[in-house]
């Protein structure tokens, strides 16, 4: 295809469907605020608007409130204060700047300021709502960067109860349900299993967006009129092949054979196979929205831990080698960035080697426990780690041997002789406290000397897909805009589909940023604005 063709021909998702005729509409329901999508951002916005006095309707294709994961970042909440965590917007500037730098400032810094300045208030509000449904807050542990550059204090909040103590993995669906019950108890209505299909833009498609037409599970068309706003909150577009190829080409290339494209599940929860088909994005484009300014949407991808530190954010801080048996980086990195590094290695493979003593780099490993162990999940003592690795050896995801030679001999896809020398050099760097090749900080120079020895490798099959973030051009008031940055009156969006909140990568250095910002503080503020209380 030539560039001309690329610019003049339309993608399938850009072509609007035939408008649904008025005569086909079985029912019209009017409300001040109509939220489309019952995930965390939609429920949060609806709840905020409803509690602030607006008349709210939520229309969602899902059969229930939707959430996944559960880490919600906030800066200076009442719970952080209660737990003695000294954190505020001024102190957060360090990590916020790191995040913005990682993305070359190719993002909307004004939206970030809303999150930074309002996240504590939002979290305090949320804590009270969740308490009503028996959910308690806890804080995930601090991220301590050995190089001291990307550290982040305990700031990811999650919500848990005795039945589901691991709020970081299981909390979000319960939070969404907590918002839903508050919406209903404050007079709002939620229509489940009702899929939005088209927006109605008045004045021959040039005026205000006044309604959305949806179809319920019996096939009936219902028009939801929003006298103040239609708020799109339909999640991401990772299940639409064309949209991925057009707007997230790098992610598309990496994951095109992994994502199953044709099985759309509007109840998608904790899945790693793509989420939604971008219905809200398409509806916005069809009524004249421009795409966000960044060329590619951020793609949240990482490699699920096949290395010995299963703590979440860290990549493996010990020796990393490529197929030549050579090291290639300062190993102090994290799970989001290591994927990019691996992609630049031949055959996209990296190999990790460590020894039995590696378990003792810390006294205990936090595999699900939270800050000050509030959720009661015990830490794992160092002495239990080798047993865990042995389990992985049995499952075939790690290898083990009594000598380095025997260990390396189990891999036929690495240069074993060079690898052996690389490990000897590494041990020398550990002894002298200085890494002559990549200047790893001394605290992560852990020798590979004490048998048994362990190994693992990452290949492209270990790449894990989460979501794509971004969408229609969105201003800092969360209004969806046209090509001239003019807001389309009446049309807003929240959540993963907000345009230009992120640049190219979701780094995890601010854990739970998405739930805390675009799905939390920002929809909270928008809900209040739409209700007219600010």
Ligand X SMILES: Cc1cc2nc3c(=O)[nH]c(=O)nc-3n(C[C@H](O)[C@H](O)[C@H](O)COP(=O)(O)OP(=O)(O)OC[C@H]3O[C@@H](n4cnc5c(N)ncnc54)[C@H](O)[C@@H]3O)c2cc1C
Footprint on this chain of ligand X (rule: CB under 6 A): 36-42, 59-62, 66-71, 195-196, 233-235, 266, 270, 272, 275-276, 279, 466-467, 495-496, 512-515, 519
Closer residue to ligand X (CB): 40 or 488? 40
Closer residue to ligand X (CB): 181 or 330? 181
- Residue 276 contacts residue 13 (beta carbons within 8 Å): no
Phi, psi (rounded to 5 degrees) for 221: -85, 130
Tokens of 312: 């979440």
What is the rounded radius of gyration, in angstroms, for the C-alpha atoms of the chain? 25
Nearest approach, Cβ of 108 to ligand X (angstroms)? 17
Element housing 131 (H / E): helix 109-132
Closer residue to ligand X (CB): 250 or 390? 250
| β-pair partners for 159 | 137
137 closest CA partner among 180, 46, 74, 193: 74
CA–CA gap between residue 534 and residue 520 (Å, rounded):
17
Nearest approach, Cβ of 101 to ligand X (angstroms)? 20
Closer residue to ligand X (CB): 164 or 443? 164
CA–CA gap between residue 5 and residue 337 (Å, rounded):
35
| Residue owning tokens 């060329």 | 295
Nearest approach, Cβ of 45 to ligand X (angstroms)? 9
Nearest approach, Cβ of 79 to ligand X (angstroms)? 17
Measured on CA atoms in the order 523, 525, 526, 532, is the torsion positive or negative?
A: positive
Closer residue to ligand X (CB): 68 or 457? 68
Nearest approach, Cβ of 524 to ligand X (angstroms)? 13
Phi, psi (rounded to 5 degrees) for 315: -85, -175
Nearest approach, Cβ of 35 to ligand X (angstroms)? 9
Nearest approach, Cβ of 400 to ligand X (angstroms)? 30
- Residue 287 contacts residue 490 (beta carbons within 8 Å): no
CA–CA gap between residue 126 and residue 202 (Å, rounded):
36
According to DSSP, residue 359 is labeled G
Closer residue to ligand X (CB): 281 or 349? 281
List Cβ neighbours of 323 (8 Å cut-off, separation of 6 or more): 345, 346, 347, 349, 351, 413, 414, 415
Closer residue to ligand X (CB): 12 or 90? 12
CA–CA gap between residue 70 and residue 40 (Å, rounded):
10
74 closest CA partner among 135, 130, 149, 158: 158
Closer residue to ligand X (CB): 299 or 407? 299
CA–CA gap between residue 24 and residue 30 (Å, rounded):
17
Closer residue to ligand X (CB): 276 or 411? 276
CA–CA gap between residue 210 and residue 215 (Å, rounded):
17
Nearest approach, Cβ of 251 to ligand X (angstroms)? 13
Dihedral Cα 437, 442, 443, 448, nearest 10 deg = 60
SS3 state of residue 340: helix
Closer residue to ligand X (CB): 397 or 464? 464
Measured on CA atoms in the order 194, 198, 199, 202, is the torsion positive or negative?
A: negative
Nearest approach, Cβ of 248 to ligand X (angstroms)? 14
């Amino acid at each position: 295809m030539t560039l001309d063709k690329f610019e003049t021909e339309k993608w399938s998702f850009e072509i609007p469907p035939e408008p649904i005729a008025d005569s086909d509409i079985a029912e019209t329901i009017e409300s001040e605020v109509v939220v489309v999508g019952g995930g965390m951002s939609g429920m949060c916005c609806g709840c905020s608007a409803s509690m602030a006095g607006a008349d709210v309707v939520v229309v969602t294709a899902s059969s229930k409130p939707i959430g996944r994961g559960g880490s919600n970042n906030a800066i200076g909440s009442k719970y952080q204060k209660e737990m003695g965590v000294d954190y505020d917007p001024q102190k957060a500037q360090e990590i916020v700047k790191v995040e913005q730098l990682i993305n070359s400032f190719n993002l909307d810094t004004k939206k970030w300021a809303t999150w930074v300045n309002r996240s504590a208030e939002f979290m305090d509000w949320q804590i009270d709502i969740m308490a009503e449904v028996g959910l308690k807050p806890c804080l995930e542990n601090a991220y301590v960067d050995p190089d001291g550059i990307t550290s982040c204090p305990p700031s990811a909040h999650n919500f848990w109860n005795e039945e589901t103590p691991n709020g970081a993995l299981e909390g979000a669906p319960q939070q969404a349900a907590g918002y839903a019950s508050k919406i209903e108890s404050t007079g709002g209505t939620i229509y489940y299993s009702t899929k939005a299909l088209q927006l109605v833009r008045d004045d021959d498609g040039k005026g205000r967006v006044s309604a959305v037409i949806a179809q319920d599970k019996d096939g009936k068309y219902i028009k939801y009129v929003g006298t103040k706003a239609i708020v799109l909150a339909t999640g991401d577009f990772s299940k639409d092949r064309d949209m991925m190829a057009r707007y997230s080409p790098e992610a598309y290339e990496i994951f095109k054979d992994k994502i199953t494209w044709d099985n759309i599940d509007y109840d998608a929860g904790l899945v790693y196979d793509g989420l939604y088909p971008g219905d809200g994005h398409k509806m916005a484009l069809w009524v004249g929205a421009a795409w966000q300014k960044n060329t590619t949407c951020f793609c949240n991808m990482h490699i699920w831990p096949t290395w010995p530190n299963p703590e979440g954010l860290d990549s493996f801080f010990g020796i990393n080698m490529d197929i030549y048996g050579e090291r290639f980086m300062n190993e102090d990195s994290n799970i989001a960035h290591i994927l990019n590094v691996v992609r630049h290695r031949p055959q996209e493979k990296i190999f990790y080697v460590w020894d039995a003593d590696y378990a003792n780099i810390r006294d205990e490993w936090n595999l699900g426990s939270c800050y000050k162990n509030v959720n009661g999940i015990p830490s794992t003592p160092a002495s239990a780690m080798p047993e865990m690795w042995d389990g992985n050896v049995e499952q075939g995801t790690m290898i083990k041997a009594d000598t380095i030679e025997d260990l390396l001999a189990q891999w036929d896809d690495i240069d074993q002789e060079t690898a052996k020398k690389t490990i000897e050099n590494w041990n020398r760097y550990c002894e002298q406290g200085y890494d002559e090749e990549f200047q790893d900080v001394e605290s992560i120079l852990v020798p590979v000397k004490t048998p048994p020895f362990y190994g693992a490798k990452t290949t492209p099959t270990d790449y894990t897909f989460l979501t794509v973030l971004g969408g229609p051009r969105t201003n800092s008031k969360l209004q969806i805009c046209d090509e001239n940055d003019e807001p389309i009156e009446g049309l807003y969006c929240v959540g993963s589909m907000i345009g230009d909140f992120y640049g190219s990568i979701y780094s995890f250095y601010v854990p739970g940023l998405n739930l805390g910002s675009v799905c939390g503080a920002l929809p909270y503020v928008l809900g209040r604005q739409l209700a007219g209380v600010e």
